[in-house]
């Protein structure tokens, strides 16, 4: 059964990552399903795209650790990072505005998915953070570069190097989240925002996205090689696998 759903209504395309058994983590099949979802949106009459997680606990919890744990060579780590990075590059460069509706926590890779969107709207009780450092690694899916562009170089370095996890209010002050709304009105609010964008004159949202994207590109293919190689070297280091083992042990004893 697919873990990704696509619905298009009144010019609004909603892509839902719904994998409750792994808190909406990104697995290998999920990458292909999300790519197919974007293809379907392009074939539709949508004027705006919303990406969200199923349920209300997690937006995206990151990469599927069970699947990623099978990656044991430098080349495999590079290939994985490049594959997901290119998917998120598609989101970032998508011709329509993309809204990340943060229905739940967005941690690690989940924060990288969120920062690939143009706009982030969050329920007031969510948390978001680039906390990959807790596993001895770093963002590898383009999130480091995009975060620096959104919040500035110093703040991005601080966020990633410390692995700070921000509540919604702090994330909004940082500039990481654009809109924060009460949990009880969250679904109403993100849909109203999407409908407002979709309700403009035909072609307007696409035109606005193209002009802003030209002024502030969020895709940096020339940085992919160095970024994924650096990530792969961290992935293969003993410190990473020790952190993974410690995490698994904590989960077993909870």
* pLDDT tens-digit map of 150-179: 999 999 999 999 999 999 999 999 999 999
**Where does the pLDDT of residue 251 fall: very low under 50, low under 70, confident under 90, or very high at 90 and above?**
confident
| CB 81, CB 141: distance < 8 Å | yes
What does the pLDDT look like over 210-243, one tens digit per residue? 999 999 999 999 999 999 999 999 999 999 999 9
| CB 121, CB 179: distance < 8 Å | yes
Which residues, in sequence order, are CB contacts of 202 under 8 Å at separation 6+? 47
**Where does the pLDDT of residue 87 fall: very low under 50, low under 70, confident under 90, or very high at 90 and above?**
very high
For position 178, what pLDDT does the model report?
98
Three-state DSSP at 50 gives strand
Mean pLDDT of 100-126: 98
Work out whether the CA dihedral 236, 162, 121, 106 comes out positive or negative. Answer: positive
Alpha helices in 3-73 (DSSP H): 28-42, 65-68
As a whole number of angstroms, the distance between CA 15 and CA 99 comes to 10
For position 65, what pLDDT does the model report?
87
As a whole number of angstroms, the distance between CA 220 and CA 215 comes to 14
Domains and CATH numbers, the chain: 4-198 (3.90.226.10)
What does the pLDDT look like over 4-57, one tens digit per residue? 999 999 999 999 999 999 999 999 999 999 999 999 999 999 999 999 999 999
Measured distance between the N- and C-terminal CA atoms of the chain, rounded to whole angstroms: 29
| CB 138, CB 109: distance < 8 Å | no
From 60-69, 92-101, 227-236, the region with the lowest mean pLDDT = 60-69
Instruction: Give the total residue count for the chain.
Output: 254
Give CA torsion, residues 29, 34, 40, 46, to 10 deg: 160
Half-sphere exposure of 59 (CA within 13 A, CB side): 30
Instruction: Using DSSP bridges, classify how beta strands 12-17 and 4-9 pair: parallel, antiparallel or unpaired.
Output: antiparallel
What does the pLDDT look like over 138-149, one tens digit per residue? 999 999 999 999
For position 254, what pLDDT does the model report?
77
**CA separation, residue 18 to residues 58, 90, 110, 136, 158 (Å):** 10, 20, 13, 28, 31
Work out whether the CA dihedral 244, 103, 123, 194 comes out positive or negative. Answer: positive
Give the whole-number percent of the chain exceeding pLDDT 90: 95
For position 253, what pLDDT does the model report?
87
For position 8, what pLDDT does the model report?
98
Mean pLDDT of 61-86: 95
| CB 25, CB 63: distance < 8 Å | yes
For position 101, what pLDDT does the model report?
98
Query: Which is nearest to 114 in space by CA: 52, 168, 21?
Result: 52
**Where does the pLDDT of residue 2 fall: very low under 50, low under 70, confident under 90, or very high at 90 and above?**
confident
């Amino acid at each position: 059964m697919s873990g990704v759903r696509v619905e298009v209504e009144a010019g609004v395309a909603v892509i839902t990552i719904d994998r409750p058994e792994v808190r909406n983590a990104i697995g290998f099949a999920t990458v292909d399903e999300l790519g197919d979802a974007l293809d379907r949106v392009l074939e539709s009459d949508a004027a705006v795209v919303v990406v969200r997680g199923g349920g209300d606990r997690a937006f995206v919890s990151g990469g599927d650790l069970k699947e990623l744990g099978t990656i044991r060579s430098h080349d495999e780590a590079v290939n994985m990072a490049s594959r997901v990075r290119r998917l998120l590059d598609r989101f970032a460069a998508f011709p329509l505005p993309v809204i990340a509706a943060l229905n739940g926590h967005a941690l690690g890779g989940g924060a990288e998915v969120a920062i690939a969107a143009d706009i982030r709207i969050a329920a007031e009780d969510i948390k978001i953070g680039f906390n990959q450092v807790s596993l001895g690694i770093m963002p590898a899916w383009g999130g480091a570069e995009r975060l620096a562009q959104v919040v500035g170089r110093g703040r991005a370095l601080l966020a990633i190097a410390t692995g700070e996890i921000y509540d919604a209010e702090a994330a909004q002050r940082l500039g990481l989240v654009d809109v924060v709304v009460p949990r009880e009105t969250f679904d109403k609010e993100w849909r109203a925002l999407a409908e407002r964008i979709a309700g403009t004159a035909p072609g307007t949202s696409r035109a606005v996205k193209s002009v802003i994207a030209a002024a502030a590109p969020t895709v940096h293919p020339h940085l992919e090689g160095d970024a994924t190689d650096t990530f792969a070297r961290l992935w293969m280091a003993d410190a990473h696998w020790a952190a993974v083992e410690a995490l698994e042990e904590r989960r077993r004893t909870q």
